[in-house]
Each structure stands twice: as C-alpha cells, then as structure tokens.
Amino acid sequence: MFAAVLNRPGSLGPQTGKRSRGELPLLALERRTAAGAAEEIGSLDAAAYRTFNMVIGDANGAWFVRGSGSGRPRVIGLDGGVHIVTAHDPNDPNSARARAQLPRFQAAPPPNPDREDWSGWAGLLGDRTGPRGAAINVPIEGGFGTVCSSLAGVSADGRVRWLFAAGPPDRTPFAPVTLP
C-alpha cells in the first residue's frame, strides 16, 4: 500500500491551529488496505487541516481524496491507467502541469519493476522543461519546488520496488530503498 499527500492551490506550508497534513499518509498506512485507508481519511474533519490532495493505493485499487478545508474529505476511486495528481484534481485540464505532463507519461514506456527498468519515467521526473507551472521537476523558488522524487511499483511476483532520489531528480540519482 502507498499513500501520498499534496497541497492544494494557495495552501503551501503550515497554518496556526491546523494539524499537519504530513500525519495523513501515516494515518492511512495504519490500515490494512487502501480501501480502508481511503474510508478512514474520508471520515476525518477536513477543517482540521489546510486543504490537501491525497492518493492512496494498493494492488486492489487506488483512491484520490480531496480535503477542501471544511466538511469531510471527498473520496474518489481512480480507474486503472496513468493519472497525474498535482495541487488540483486528478488529470485536471485546468492544471498546466497535468495538461503538459499527462500525455508524456501516457506515451512513455511504463516502469517495469520485473526488469528493474524505470528509465522512461525517471527521465520524465528529472525534466525541468516546459512553460512556467507546467514542468514536472520544479526549480526551488520561494519555498516551493521539487526536493525529492520516488518511483514505486510491484513486480509480477508481488515484490514491492521503491526508488528514491533524495534531491531534485535531474541532479540526484534514483537509488533503491530496502523495504521490510
């Protein structure tokens, strides 16, 4: 299972009186399944956090969770295939990054964890080209930018693979992370 959280537009950084969104993936990973984790996050008080997007998945499915800052977070099932989740909803055509990058990831050879072949997507994650707001690897400016990247997958025999670049992926190589 995996869980990742992102900021929504205009919500960079902490805010007095709000819980850290960094708690959310940890809370999700306490569940045994992604479906259970999505249900758990969807039951929270979204007003306790600054706005967030979250992606939760396992071998049985994936979910997008939008915390809008009030009420309960909205949980949306993701169908199979390639999706881009930014500070906006999945594949949102109003997101310059999603518009520019989704076709590139869909056209690139997908990672193949069985052969340890991540080259297509690793190259895309390191790319800084594109109009402002559309690059996938964002130069750090004003406290915002790409500070690390991950590639994760499950091989046909069920082994989980995780590669991590502990810095911007155009300057920091991806290295395997040993998982328990």
Q: What is the pLDDT of residue 131?
A: 79
Q: What is the pLDDT of residue 142?
A: 80
Q: What is the pLDDT of residue 169?
A: 96
Q: What is the pLDDT of residue 145?
A: 86
| 143: pLDDT strictly greater than 80 | no
What is the rounded CA–CA span in Å between residue 114 and residue 153? 9
10: left (phi over 0), alpha (psi -120 to 50) or beta: left
Q: What is the pLDDT of residue 158?
A: 80
pLDDT in tens, 71-128: 999 999 999 899 999 889 999 999 999 999 999 999 999 999 999 899 999 999 999 9
Q: Return the domain boundaries, the chain.
A: 2-78, 96-176
pLDDT in tens, 25-52: 999 999 999 999 999 999 999 999 999 9
In the chain, what is the greatest distance between 2 CA atoms, to the nearest angstrom?
47
pTM: 0.88
pLDDT band at 141 (very low <50, low <70, confident <90, very high): confident
What is the rounded CA–CA span in Å between residue 62 and residue 75? 10
Q: What is the pLDDT of residue 160?
A: 84
CB atoms within 10 A of CB 136: 22
Q: What is the pLDDT of residue 130?
A: 81
